[in-house]
Structure 1
Amino acid sequence: MRQAVRVTAVLAAGGMAVVALTTSSNAQSVNDQSVQAANLSAARHAAAAADDDHSDTVYVTSKAKDGTVSVTIYDPAKGVTPDQLRDKLRRSGVTGVLDKGQEPPTTQPNQKQGLLVACLSFGTAHQWCDRRWNYGGFRDPQVYFLDHTSSAWPVNAAVNVWNEAVGIDSYYRWYTAGCPSGRHCVNVYNGRYGINDWYGQTTWAPGTQGPVTVRLNDSYSLTANEHRTVTCHELGHALSLHHNTASGSCLKSGTYISLRPNIYDYELLKRIYPLSGT
């Protein structure tokens, strides 16, 4: 009998919250993928309901000329609330700004919804749901960060701390060297994007293996440590992590204190990418 996938629970065990998917050979077949997606979205909302730092994310959607839809996480400047940032973006003419609690798309238009995959969290760390790099024939996904930035942004140092993670390999490369064949590449840019209430942003087209782009805002006078933290924050998004609710992580939203990930960020990456070994 065909197996049916269904969302069963939001689990908490050993510090890890999981939106769980189970199968049953005796279950009635479920053919409506949109119903599955709606159920999974509801479970994810339940998991994040008491976690405003994680759930109140500023998302902006956009569509390229070829029809590809992208989702951008905008990370607010220090002292700026997500609501203030959404308002500033809209007043600045940015379209596609989602309301608080509104979930971004997880697939491309007309793209068939694949098998729904659990969205993980561990301790205070959370996954950017539906964003995972594939293995590409390696035991760990290979992610190269192509640096287009000035010396103010310590991309190399941030890549090094993320490469301490087990499960996914991060590499630094100056952009003129290009993207190595068969590897994933993230372009990291800086620029004077304006006093528009955000320090950094990361863009990923859902349902794809990229492109992923990081932008770092030069329009604010930041300390060296703040440059380091913002860089670490955006590179974490590019590895498929969402926000961390602990101030000891560079992925804490709205505060820029820690220079590196915390233990929960590293532990979560091990669970998102469990086939470590390269």
Structure 2
Amino acid sequence: MMRRPAFISVATVVMLAVSMASSAAANHWNHDPGHNVHWTNSSPSFPRGYVYWADLTGPEWPVYSAAIEWDRSTRLDAVYVGAGSSCPSTPHCVTVRQTALGTSCSGTLGQTNVSYYSATGHLETSTRVDLSSACSTSSASKRRTITCHELGHSIGMDEQRTADDSCMVDPYVTPHTLPSAHDFQSIATVYNHDD
């Protein structure tokens, strides 16, 4: 297991499935003002919000390198957990896996299922990232964008609807493979508190 402090995620998606712990849809994403879905900082080992990403994908998915980019955030601690390892703290563990989401890499490229507590906005263990097995032979750039985008969702980020250089831009097929300065500003705002 390799500890990587302060990172969010990297991936591209055409469809986002949201499994919420309550019906408070307005509290769902963090690019819009007032939305505060986030991981807690309830551990003395992590003074900021924190998350473990358990990578169950194969070598074709750049989960580790995408995680490094999200790790540049100053308000979120993240731990990359490689294949064959498990999260030491299940309440903050996001499973990242490759799965069948369609027959081609033109429909659903990735999917992040997010659960959170409506009263606090805290993400919970059942948060999971699925990367489409149909995209596993796509270009390295496309796989990196998909991974960046989906990991971003797993920490509470929404699609951006502006002309930004972010992997979180909507529409989902974008040449951008990294989080942008705006993404990091959003993270700093949402994770800038103690809980």
Q: Normalising by the residue count of structure 1, what TM-score does the alignment of the two structures yield? A: 0.54
TM-superposed CA distance for 1:142, in Å, is 1.7
Structure-2 change in CA distance of 1:183 and 1:167 (3 Å): farther
2:131 is aligned, of 216, 222, 226, to: 216
Higher deviation after alignment, 131-140 or 235-244: 131-140
* Alignment match, 1:131: 37
Q: 1:230 aligned to 2:152?
A: no
Residues 166-190 of structure 1: per-residue CA shift (max 9 Å, x gap): 1111221114321113761110001
Q: 1:150 aligned to 2:58?
A: yes
* Alignment match, 1:250: 167
Structure-2 change in CA distance of 1:58 and 1:200 (3 Å): closer
Q: Is the 8 Å Cα contact of residues 15 and 109 (structure 2) preserved in structure 1?
A: no
Q: Is the 8 Å Cα contact of residues 101 and 133 (structure 2) preserved in structure 1?
A: yes
Aligned pairs for 1:18-167 within 5 A:
60=17, 70-71=19-20, 105-106=23-24, 125-126=31-32, 129=35, 131-137=37-43, 138-167=46-75
**Deviation >4 Å, runs of 4+:** 57-61
SS at match of 1:229: helix
* Alignment match, 1:110: none
Name the amino acid aligned to 1:161: E
* Alignment match, 1:269: 187
Structure-2 change in CA distance of 1:139 and 1:127 (3 Å): farther
Alignment: residue pair count: 168
Q: Is the 8 Å Cα contact of residues 29 and 157 (structure 2) preserved in structure 1?
A: no
% same residue: 26
Residues 62-113 of structure 1: per-residue CA shift (max 9 Å, x gap): xxxxxxxx24xxxxxxxxxxxxxxxxxxxxxxxxxxxxxxxx8238xxxxxx
User: Relative CO higher for 1 or 2, CA cutoff 8 Å, sep ≥ 6?
Assistant: 2
* Alignment match, 2:92: 184
TM-superposed CA distance for 1:233, in Å, is 0.2
TM-superposed CA distance for 1:195, in Å, is 2.7
More strand by share: 1
Query: Could you tell me how far apart the structure 1 residues matched to 2:15 and 2:116 are?
Result: 16
Unaligned runs of 5+ in 1: 1-56, 62-69, 72-103, 108-115
Name the amino acid aligned to 1:252: V
